[in-house]
């Protein structure tokens, strides 16, 4: 999620720019509010899911521990610990918003690796950018360049799979 940035020229006209401009970056209030509203909605959905998870876990109870055998295994058996844990697991609701949020976080990590790999490939093989390296791959089949470009392209697919909820 990003907010479109603008630069203001001498006539106070808004100019669309990609990212930060050296003369300073500005955002329109409306653009900012739309992004804030979307982020607040995501936050509220995450909070609701997490409240559901917390409510699924029963309150702890006082347990008398004055039996003859006080080793951990017998305590767990006596108090039904394993049964209680299994019951809690069954009561925890599905968390699609949290799962989607975490998938996006994972994918953003892969996105950062992709950008680093693209820059590294371009620098190592002395291309102006990654696209130039990609276009030259057909001239060097079987080279290290092709392998590195293919691995970077695979990372793009992997990030897309993460966003869909796969490979967790």
Tell me the per-residue pLDDT of 14-24, one tens digit each, with 9 for 90 and over: 555 554 454 54
Whether 9 and 48 map to the same domain: the answer is: yes
Whether 64 and 83 map to the same domain: the answer is: yes
pTM of the entire structure?
A: 0.55
Whether 77 and 116 map to the same domain: the answer is: no
Boundaries of domain holding 79: 58-91
Angstrom distance (rounded) from CA 90 to CA 85:
9
Angstrom distance (rounded) from CA 99 to CA 106:
11
Q: How many helices (DSSP H) and strands (DSSP E) are in the chain?
A: 6, 2
Structure tokens at 80: 């039904």
Q: What is the pLDDT of residue 62?
A: 56
Tell me the per-residue pLDDT of 6-59, one tens digit each, with 9 for 90 and over: 766 655 555 555 544 545 467 778 888 888 999 999 888 888 888 888 777 766
Task: Give the total number of structural domains in the chain.
Answer: 3
Whether 105 and 121 map to the same domain: the answer is: yes
Tell me the per-residue pLDDT of 56-92, one tens digit each, with 9 for 90 and over: 776 665 556 555 555 566 666 666 777 777 777 788 8
């Amino acid at each position: 999620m990003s907010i479109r940035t603008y630069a203001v020229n001498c006539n106070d006209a808004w100019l669309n720019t990609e990212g930060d401009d050296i003369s300073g970056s500005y955002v329109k209030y409306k653009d900012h509010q739309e992004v804030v509203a979307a982020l607040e909605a995501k936050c509220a959905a995450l909070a609701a899911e997490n409240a559901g998870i917390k409510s699924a876990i029963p309150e702890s109870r006082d347990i008398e521990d004055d039996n003859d055998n006080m080793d951990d295994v017998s305590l767990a058996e006596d108090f039904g610990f394993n049964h209680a844990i299994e019951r809690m697991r069954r009561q925890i609701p599905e968390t699609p918003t949290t799962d989607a949020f975490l998938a996006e976080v994972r994918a953003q990590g892969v996105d950062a690796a992709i950008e680093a790999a693209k820059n590294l490939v371009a620098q190592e093989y002395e291309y102006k950018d990654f696209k130039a390296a990609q276009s030259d791959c057909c001239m060097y089949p079987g080279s290290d360049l092709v392998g590195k470009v293919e691995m970077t392209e695979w990372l793009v697919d992997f990030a897309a799979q993460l966003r869909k909820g796969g490979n967790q």
